[in-house]
Amino acid sequence: MKTSSVVKILMPALAALVACQAGFAQAAYAVVPTAAPGHFRPYVWRMNTPIRPNFGVYGPAYCNTNAFYSFTFCPRGLQSVYGANSIPSGNGGRGKTIAIVDAFHYAHAASDLATFNTAMGLPQLDGVGTDPTLTIVGCTDVSGAPPTPPSYGVTCASPSTGTSNPGWEVEEMLDLEYAHAMAPYANILMVEAYDNGGSLFGAVYYAESNADIVSNSWGGAESAGQTSADTTFGQGKPILFSSGDTGDEVCIAFNGDGSCKTYAVGVQYPCSSPNVTCVGGTTLLPSGSPLRRSSEVAWSGSGGGCSTQEGLPYYQNIGAIGGGGAPSVCNSGGSWRAVPDIAAVADPSTGVMEYDSGNGGYFQVGGTSLATPVTAGLFAQIIAARHTFGQATIPYFNPALYPAAIRNYPYFFFDIVSGSNGYPAGTGYDLVTGLGVSNIAAMANRFFGLIFVLD
């Protein structure tokens, strides 16, 4: 990675804490730093240096506390800051299903999740009484010559018996634990793709057919011809993807050992598909009791920028947001899709506690791999509330998010106005955090139809 990229990725998000934050940002690392061409990687980061004694064993004792300008969120704290319990008739997502798509297989996912739920006071996903359910399926490799979208010839079934991968294991447990944290009564469908190649796309297609919302925290650099795969994400269910973790750059060439040889300005796919909601990242610090947002700024690793493959979607073909930036900003040599669409907490130094017995117990993680399941859980509650209000299923969030921002921006979104990923965050839409962080209770009102927004 070139020096400028390292600086951008590790640049402290909070200007007032530059010196202190820099040291702790350097203590975090990408769990899966690269993927071979034609393959994809998760965007999860792990804190490398334990910031508290015996964290791996006694992690829950440090829930929702700060140390040395970092903060460790656990479910109750994150629920409080993001208003997960303030969604009218959200009911924790009861009756709805969140699908999560990851690669490879983790044999202890269900038991680790049960341990986490007990420690954090969350409902078990055992289907007992009023508890929600957890279903884990494994998918076959892609088939066909060449495999074609949207199904790619992939079939999925339970039980899952694929091969393991320690890095993707961290991703899977993060996704399970924090989608569940933000929608504690929603069912979860864990779809494990055969590997981190094209079989992931077939797994997404299966997930769409069997869930109400789909969360994905992986991707790779854009490539020519990717638009042919966009139909995979257009099957009538909301699909979320993480925006990446290398700021405004992507890896475009590899060394023989698989490490990145060359970075260049670019964005990640499938997040750049116009058929998905692309989720960027922030640095979030809370205060008070109960916890509330003290500051939230752009995370320097948040992927974002202008697609070179996907044209400007109709919902982004609008003017300035909140008197500031417009999502139609990508107009060099044409009109292009801008990403991300929205954002949530991602900085590993203000990340969350994960439990994963295969990787040492409790540890702190972040990345836009966190922002995406957090957002999926919150949106699952909105979907559940719509059902309560007799509203139709939501096929896609973006065509409603952008008109909401035009109609009443400060009501529906918390604007992220500082920080940078190479592009600066600022008033209105920007290429680091998109429209900003959803004010979830207000956004719920918009999706209920209780507040009219002209689409």
The answer to whether residue 363 sits within a structural domain is yes
Handedness of CA 182, 186, 191, 197 (dihedral sign): negative
User: What distance in Å separates the CA atoms of residue 418 and residue 424, rounded to the nearest whole number?
Assistant: 7
Is residue 336 a contact partner of residue 80, using CB atoms and an 8 Å limit?
no
Give strand pairing partners of 100.
190, 215
In 370-424, the DSSP E strands lie at: 413-414
How does residue 49 score in pLDDT terms, banded at 50, 70 and 90? Answer: low
What average pLDDT does the segment 240-264 reach? 90
The answer to whether residue 417 sits within a structural domain is no
Give strand pairing partners of 188.
98, 134
The answer to whether residue 453 sits within a structural domain is no
User: What distance in Å separates the CA atoms of residue 388 and residue 278, rounded to the nearest whole number?
Assistant: 27
Identify which of 424, 394, 296, 229 has the alpha carbon closest to the alpha carbon of residue 14: 296
Token look-up 């506390």 returns: 65
Is residue 444 a contact partner of residue 91, using CB atoms and an 8 Å limit?
no
Domain CATH for 165: 3.40.50.200
Looking at residue 328, the DSSP 8-state letter turns out to be T
Q: Is the pLDDT of residue 141 over 70?
A: yes
Greater model confidence, 232 or 255: 232
Identify which of 277, 297, 432 has the alpha carbon closest to the alpha carbon of residue 341: 277
The answer to whether residue 254 sits within a structural domain is yes
Q: Collect all residues with Cβ–Cβ distance below 8 Å to 420 and sequence separation of at least 6.
A: 8, 11, 298, 300, 432
The answer to whether residue 147 sits within a structural domain is yes
Lowest mean pLDDT among 62-71, 160-169, 199-208, 336-345: 62-71
Going from the C-alpha of 52 to that of each of 62, 71, 104, 170, 365, the distances in angstroms are 8, 11, 31, 20, 14
What average pLDDT does the segment 130-159 reach? 90
Global pTM reads: 0.92
What integer best gives the mean pLDDT of the chain? 89
Q: Is the pLDDT of residue 182 over 80?
A: yes
The answer to whether residue 307 sits within a structural domain is yes
What average pLDDT does the segment 445-449 reach? 69
- Joined together, the tokens standing for residue 336 give 């292009």
The residue segments making up the domain with residue 215 are 3-311+346-393
Going from the C-alpha of 82 to that of each of 307, 348, 353, 375, the distances in angstroms are 30, 17, 17, 10
The answer to whether residue 190 sits within a structural domain is yes
What kind and span of H or E run contains 111? helix 109-120
pLDDT in tens, 282-320: 999 999 999 999 999 999 999 999 999 999 999 999 999
The answer to whether residue 450 sits within a structural domain is no
User: What distance in Å separates the CA atoms of residue 117 and residue 100, rounded to the nearest whole number?
Assistant: 18
User: What distance in Å separates the CA atoms of residue 444 and residue 185, rounded to the nearest whole number?
Assistant: 17
pLDDT at residue number 411: 94
Greater model confidence, 97 or 388: 97
User: What distance in Å separates the CA atoms of residue 113 and residue 125, rounded to the nearest whole number?
Assistant: 8
**CB-count exposure of residue 416 (10 Å: 0-12, 13-18, 19+):** buried
Q: Is the pLDDT of residue 16 over 50?
A: no
pLDDT in tens, 371-410: 999 999 999 999 999 888 888 888 899 999 999 999 999 9
How does residue 106 score in pLDDT terms, banded at 50, 70 and 90? Answer: very high
3-state secondary structure of 392: coil
- Joined together, the tokens standing for residue 263 give 């970075």
The count of structural domains within the chain is 1
Token look-up 């506690």 returns: 353
